[in-house]
Amino acid sequence: MRTGTITRVSGPIITVKGMKGAGLYDVVKVGEVGLIGEIIRLEGELATVQIYEDNTLMRTGEPAVCQGSPLSVELGPGLIGSIYDGIQRPLPALKALSGPMLAPGVAGKALDPDKLWHFKPALKAGDPVGPGIFYGEIRETQSILHRLVLDAATPKGRAAWVETEGDYDISHSLVRTEAGAEYKASSRWPVRLPRACGAKQVPSKPLVTGQRIIDILFPIAKGGCAAIPGGFGTGKTMTQHAIAKWCDADLIVYIGCGERGNEMTDVLTEFPSLIDPKTGRSLMERTILIANTSNMPVAAREVSIYTGITIAEYYRDMGYDVAVMADSTSRWAEALRELSGRLEEMPAEEGFPAYLPARLAEFYERGGMVRTLEGKGGSVTIIGAVSPAGGDFSEPVTQHTRRFVRCFWALDRDLANARHYPAISWNDSYSEYVDDLVRFWDGVDPAWNSLRIAAMDILKRERKLAEIVRLIGPDALPDEQRLVLLTAELIKMGFLQQSSFDKVDMYCSPERQVLILQCILTFHREAEAAMKAGLPLPKITSMPIRSEIVRLKSSLHNDETASGQEILDRIRRSFAEAGVGTEGAAS
């Protein structure tokens, strides 16, 4: 350990003299109370340190002690269900120690050192030891089996001794090698260093969210990256909450990065009370929360996303599919901007540092579908909210984010004001994962891609016609174009709009999603044929089956999709009874 002296204080950025020989990104305990900091610049014996805690009233001349290792997180059983701050301090434990306002220097154990976990060994004496070796398991929650797998830094060797099955705490040695190395249920990993994997793979399975506009029109793959940009009040956090609750990921890591305290409070109070639809148990049994609100130290906000992604990679290496919700990356970028200003670096666009694109790329590149060192499949899916000021998508964070994600769910203020949920704009959003996921969706319904293309075509045609309608009104359009407007309204109301308060509509299975869209497009095709046969559009508009199609999202349950053919037959029969349509034309 090296001890230096503080010579300059500029908010969370301080200069320490006497750090010759220290390493970049080494942890430093600063001041009389030992605040946690990290070296971010070295010039001879002068070190620039960013402090992750409130350092109000810090003075020059106070000591600073370099710990000789980079900022790391503790990994092991007990992470799930925990609530941490940006540097993995357990917030409930800190509250018990210092009250509702965190005292400077207060610390707590990230994992409970006294809790006993039931360990089942997977090795015996003489078995090989090295990267990717599975050496035991612990039942962490009813939903998650904690697989103990040796990481890439483990030297190869052989096990000299393996602990028997039983209950042990995380500091108990479970495996000892012939070289004398010991391995426990817990380990540490530097947050800025990506965890190694066997190989990255092309994403081929969708992250099914239960949200129709996402799964059908703009799907995301497991191991993919998506951005949710939108102005204040457009529903970024609500959309992430819905995805976190309903998506088919094994584990959720939710990072509240610089968001308002009331929004983070909603997460902290709602998630423990939510029921996991897959298991019927608390959603917290597969959730890890990292809370770093806008009034907490800005430097900790910058590191919080690395803490979250490192924990996600840890469970990925066990073979799990992990979804990371980062809310929001704009607040993280603002932290970078503030720290860069205090470092007196040359600003780039809108005052952000020139390395903003590189930092965004580093974060999103840590997502992906992989083959683990053990040979299993795992993934980290990253969904980052972006909060552009005034909803301006041309600002730097949004523009640079678009370069590194393949899925873009643009939120629209007009839709949000109209109470259209989710307020994802079908005109401005896109997904580049469609071709990768066709094989999966062919197993659900081979018509998926053709239905998706047909729906998008109708919505694009409706957008062009809307400009004409504003000028001359809908009555001046021919019936064929008015039918496009009618079907587009059916798609918006009966498919794209989804209520998170309706017990039936809040989650839509892939099979039901395809069925509802198929019903709407079947109605459109039958109406086109009927109009060619002479049926006027007003009669089509007044048909009862139209209202029934709009109500399908709330009346048709996920386990009733077997009756889909009956619904389609009823649509065709409605037109046949009018003497037109495909059945009428055939007769």
pLDDT for 543-572, tens place per residue? 999 999 999 999 999 988 887 888 999 999
The pLDDT assigned to 585 comes to: 42
Percent residues over pLDDT 70 in the chain: 98
Give one word for 342, left, alpha or beta, with left for phi > 0 and alpha for psi -120 to 50. alpha
The pLDDT-based confidence of 582 (bands split at 50, 70, 90) is low
Per-residue pLDDT at 415 exceeds 90: yes
Distance of CA 499 to the CA centre of its chain: 21
Question: How confident is the model at residue 581, as a pLDDT?
Answer: 54
Q: What are phi and psi of 582, to 5 degrees?
A: -65, -35
Q: What is the pLDDT of residues 220-273, one digit of tens each?
A: 999 999 999 999 889 998 899 899 989 999 999 999 887 776 677 777 777 777
**All domains of the chain, ordered by start, with CATH?**
2-70 (2.40.30.20), 117-190 (2.40.50.100), 445-586 (1.10.1140.10)
Buried b (16+ CB within 10 A) or exposed e, 127-157: eebebbbbbbbbebbebbebbbbbbeebeee
Contact between 326 and 381 under an 8 Å Cβ cutoff? The reply is no
pLDDT level of residue 93 (50, 70, 90 thresholds): confident
The answer, yes or no, to whether residue 145 has pLDDT greater than 90, is yes
**For strand 225-229 and strand 199-201, is the pairing parallel, antiparallel, or unpaired?**
unpaired
Average model confidence (pLDDT) across the chain? 91
Confidence grade of residue 275 (pLDDT, cut at 50, 70, 90): confident
On the question of a cis peptide bond just before residue 206, with omega within 30 degrees of 0, the verdict is no
- Mean pLDDT for 510-514 is 94
Count CB-CB contacts under 10 A for residue 514. Answer: 24
Q: Rounded mean pLDDT of 60-73?
A: 94
Q: What is the mean pLDDT of residues 156-160?
A: 95
Indicate if the pLDDT at residue 487 is higher than 90: yes
Tell me the C-alpha distance between 577 and 561, whole Å.
25
Better-predicted residue by pLDDT, 168 or 142: 168
- In tens, the pLDDT along 442-462 reads 999 999 999 999 999 999 999
Q: Facing residues of 378 across strands?
A: 370
Whether residue 586 is predicted with pLDDT greater than 50 in this model: the reply is: no
Distance CA 133, CA 495 (A): 47
Check residue 243 and give its pLDDT. 93
- Give the per-residue pLDDT at 399: 96
| Beta-strand runs (E) in 59-186 | 63-70, 72-75, 83-84, 117-121, 128-129, 134-139, 145-149, 157-162, 166-168, 175-177, 182-183
Q: Which carries the bigger pLDDT value, residue 408 or residue 53?
A: 408
Summarised one tens digit per residue, pLDDT across range 306-340 is 999 999 999 999 999 999 999 889 999 999 999 99
Long-range interactions of 341-348: CB distance < 8 A, separation 24+? 342/10, 342/11, 342/12, 342/13, 343/13, 343/40, 343/41, 343/48, 348/396
Question: What DSSP element (H or E) covers 356?
Answer: helix 356-364
pLDDT at 174: 96
pLDDT of residue 580: 58
State the pLDDT confidence band at 587, using cuts at 50, 70 and 90.
Answer: very low
* Alpha-carbon separation of residue 225 from 325, 369, 429 (angstroms): 10, 11, 14
**Are residues 522 and 548 in contact, defined by beta-carbon separation less than 8 angstroms?**
no
